[in-house]
Amino acid sequence: MRDMDLFSGEWLRFAAVRPDDAAQLSVFTESYDYMRNVDTEYAVPQTAEFFEQAENGKNTIEFMLRTIEDDRLVGFAALHGIEWNNRSSRMAVGIGHPSDRGQGYGRDAVAMLLRYAFLELNLERISLEVIAYNEAAIRTYLGAGFVEEGRLREAVLRGRKRYDLIAMGLLSREWAARPENAGEEGVS
């Protein structure tokens, strides 16, 4: 069994929300590109007060993503809609600044969040939805072991064009069977 830190990945670490994070999260929402990839609802920048008032409930766990190297806030990772009786949850990851995308941070965040969900929370299933044009996210999710479970055809309207919303899922046994997860504590 190898020593494992559930809160650290290769480049990132999970952190609690800090008082100054709300202002940075608000800046992220001012990016049209960020808002178009992280949510299917209409895009509207959010105030720092919006993030300050957001709170984790018993069915939501949210982490801020900070770089290990310089403790810089780069985004968030969340498990939401947790159904404890079904041992299932939905997940979301957002990398805020365009210069931080394509650096492996999303892949690191997804790997950390799955490890936390399956090993710490003992969940059995993680699901997500991703807009079909978000090819980088789809590659990341497929690379982590997610499989496409269905499509909501033309469910998302962007401008005057419609896009499919792809439903993806991953079971704990599928995650545990992947070579990169061999030897993780609690994985059989």
Residue 136 belongs to domain with CATH number: 3.40.630.30
More confident residue, 50 or 94: 94
Residue 99: pLDDT band with limits 50, 70, 90: confident
The answer to whether 13 touches 7, Cβ cutoff 8 Å, is yes
- For residue 26, being part of any structural domain is answered with yes
pLDDT, tens digit (0-9, with 9 covering 90-100), for 66-78: 999 999 999 999 9
Q: Number of structural domains, the chain?
A: 1
pLDDT, tens digit (0-9, with 9 covering 90-100), for 22-46: 777 776 766 566 656 665 454 544 5
Tokens 């704990």 belong to residue? 172
Task: Name the helix (H) or strand (E) containing 167.
Answer: strand 161-171
Query: What's the pTM value of the predicted model, to 2 decimals?
Result: 0.84
| Torsion (CA) 55, 77, 39, 102 in degrees, nearest 10 | 150
Residue 188 has pLDDT above 50, yes or no: no
Residue 100: pLDDT band with limits 50, 70, 90: confident
Q: What is the mean pLDDT of residues 55-60?
A: 75
- For residue 71, being part of any structural domain is answered with yes
Residue 185 is predicted with a pLDDT of 58
The range of the structural domain enclosing residue 52 comes to: 12-181
pLDDT, tens digit (0-9, with 9 covering 90-100), for 153-168: 999 998 899 999 999 9
- For residue 186, being part of any structural domain is answered with no
